[in-house]
Structure 1
Amino acid sequence: MRWTRGHVLGRGSSATVSAATSNTGELFAVKTATLSHSECLQREQQFLSILKSPFIVSYKGCDITKEKKKIMYNLFMQYMPGGTIVDAINGQLNEAQISHYTRQIIQGLVYIHSNNIVHCDIKGANILVNENGVKLADFGCAKWVNEHVPVRGTPMFMAPEVARGEEQGFPADIWALGCTVIEMVTGCSPWLNMTDPVSVLYKIGFSGESPEIPSGFSSQAKDFINKCLIRDPKARWGATELLNHPFIGQLECDIDRDLWAGSPTGILDQYMWNSIGESQSVGSDLIQPMCSSFSLRQRIEQLEGNSEMANWKCEMEEEINWMTIRSNGSGGVVEDD
C-alpha cells in the first residue's frame, strides 16, 4: 500500500501520531517511531492485528519506510476524530456521558479479557473518541494474562499489587478503570498533588489508601468506583460483573455530538486535508516487518528506601511528555507544552 502522511496529531518522546491517506483515499492514523525504538509499537501491532471488536480501535496494517535517512516503523490504525478522552473532558462531561463511555470501556475490557489479554495501561489518554463513543487504544504495554514480563504502564493508574511488583492481571485493568472514571469526572490525575512516580507507587502499594472519589457524584457512581478500587485484587469486581452495575447497567443517554467534533483533533481535521498534497508521500516500498515480540527489560526496582526511579516499561515517560498538536484557527498548528 502506498500512503501519504498528513499533519501531526500528537507527539511523544519516541513516537509520533499523524493523519494519513492511502492511495485509494482511505483516511487513517499512523503511529511512527524509528525502527530501533519501535519495540512497543511492534508489540502493539501483534495485539491489534488479532483483536476485532467495535470497542477496540481497528488495525489497518504496518510497514517499514526510509524517511530522511532514518528507518521508520509505521503502525496504521483507525482514525478517531475526537482525539482522546482527555481531549474530550475539558470539564464538560456529565454523569450520563461518563456512564455511557464507561460502559463502552468495560465492553472493550470484557472482550480482551475473554481473549486472555491484559491491557496494562488503561487511562484517559489511551481511550479514543469518535461519533459513536469510545474505543480502547494503545496496546504497547499489553500482555497475555499468564505471560511473565516486567511490570508496565503508568504509575498513577497502577493497582496496589502492580505497584508492589506482585502481579498484573485482569484486576489491574479494573483498578485503572476506576482511576479513569475519576479522571473523567475531575479532568485531573486520580492522585492529586503527587508528581514523583516513586512516591506515587509507594503510596499506592503500601499506604492502604485509594484515590479520593469526587464529591457531587451519584451514590451509584461512587459505588461503581468503589467496586473498581477494592485493594484486594481477588475481591475486586471483574469486567463482566461491572457490566451489570446500576451505574452503567441499562442506561440510555444521548451523547452530545459536539463534544467530540469540537475537540482539538476534530478542529484540526477541518483543514488537514486541504494541504495534504504538500505532505510527503512515503509509500511502503520496503519489506513488511515480521513484527516479532520483544523481551522488555524494564522492571520495578525496590520501592522502599530507593530514591532512584525504576526504569519503566513502554510509554510511561512518553505519556508524561506527550504533546497534542492543535489548530491555531488560521491553518497552522501549535504545540501544547
Structure 2
Amino acid sequence: MEKAQTEMKVKCTDNNRSSSLQKEKILTTLKGCPYVVQFFGTDINIDNDNIPIYNLFLEYASGGSLQDLINNSKRRMIQMSELEVGFYTYQLLKGIQHVHKEGWVHCDIKPANILVFNNEHGGMHKLKLADFGLSLKVGDRKTYMTGIPLSNRGTLLYAPP
C-alpha cells in the first residue's frame, strides 16, 4: 500500500517577531482532527544577514482560503448550493468542536483563516481551521474588549457582539 504524501507550507518571520507563529505550536494538541490544519514542526535558521528566522511547517492548502473560494464564486457569479454551505458548515463546526474539546478557543475565525483543500467530495472541498496565533486556553479569563489598545483578539469585523 502506497502512503500518500502531504505537501507542506512554511510560514517564516524574524525570530524577534515570531510570538504569534510560536503560539501555533498549540496545533500539536489538536492533532488527529481532519478539520484542523496539520502541524509538522518548527525550526530556526540564520539568513544571509545573520538574522534568526523562525519557521513553522504546516499542511499546504492548494485551494487557498474560504475567503478565496467566496471571492471566486462572486467573480464567476456562481452561488454556493445549500448542500455545499451545509457541508462546509458541518466541517467547520466539527473543527471548532475539536478545538473546544481540547481546551482551546480560536479567537479569530474568519474566512481567511479557513483553508480549502482540493481533495473534493462530490465537487465540494474539504475545509480546515488554521491560524491559531491568537488562540487562548480555556480559563485564561481574557475577553474581546474594544477601546483598549492591544486587548483585541481577532478581527473586529468577525468579533461576536
- Normalising by the smaller structure, the TM-score range is 0.7 to 0.9
For residues 201-251 of structure 1, the C-alpha deviation after alignment (integer angstroms, 9 at most, x for no partner) is xxxxxxxxxxxxxxxxxxxxxxxxxxxxxxxxxxxxxxxxxxxxxxxxxxx
Matched ranges for 1:70-85 at <5 A: 70-85=51-66
TM-align CA RMSD: 1.5
Using the alignment, how far apart are the partners of 1:118 and 1:137 within structure 2? Answer: 12
User: Structure 2: which amino acid aligns with 1:48?
Assistant: L
User: Structure 2: which amino acid aligns with 1:88?
Assistant: L
Unmatched tracts of structure 1, length 5 or more:
1-24, 161-337
User: Structure 2: which amino acid aligns with 1:111?
Assistant: H
TM-score calculated relative to the size of structure 1:
0.39
Matched position secondary structure for 2:56: strand
Is 1:143 aligned with 2:123?
no
C-alpha contact (below 8 Å) 2:105/2:138 kept by paired residues: yes
- Runs of 4+ in structure 1 over 6 Å off: none
Deviation at 1:148, TM superposition (A): 3.5
Matched position secondary structure for 1:54: coil
Using the alignment, how far apart are the partners of 1:126 and 1:101 within structure 2? Answer: 14
Using the alignment, how far apart are the partners of 2:93 and 2:135 within structure 1? Answer: 16
TM-score calculated relative to the size of structure 2:
0.79
C-alpha contact (below 8 Å) 2:6/2:59 kept by paired residues: no
For residues 125-182 of structure 1, the C-alpha deviation after alignment (integer angstroms, 9 at most, x for no partner) is 000011241000000010111113444100000012xxxxxxxxxxxxxxxxxxxxxx
Match of 1:97 in 2: 84
Matched position secondary structure for 2:30: coil
User: Structure 1: which amino acid aligns with 2:97?
Assistant: V
Matched position secondary structure for 1:57: coil
* Equivalent residue for 2:13, pick from 10, 33, 57: 33
Deviation at 1:68, TM superposition (A): 2.6
Matched ranges for 1:253-332 at <5 A: none
Deviation at 1:98, TM superposition (A): 1.5
Deviation at 1:26, TM superposition (A): 6.1
Match of 1:281 in 2: none
Match of 1:155 in 2: 156
User: Structure 1: which amino acid aligns with 2:94?
Assistant: Q
Q: Aligned pair in 2 of structure 1 residues 26, 104: CA closer, same or farther (>3 Å)?
A: closer
Using the alignment, how far apart are the partners of 1:26 and 1:116 within structure 2? Answer: 27
Count the aligned residue pairs.
Answer: 135
Matched position secondary structure for 1:139: coil
Match of 1:193 in 2: none
Unmatched tracts of structure 2, length 5 or more:
121-125, 143-150
Deviation at 1:97, TM superposition (A): 1.2
Match of 2:115 in 1: 128
Matched position secondary structure for 2:52: strand
User: Structure 2: which amino acid aligns with 1:115?
Assistant: E
Deviation at 1:54, TM superposition (A): 0.5
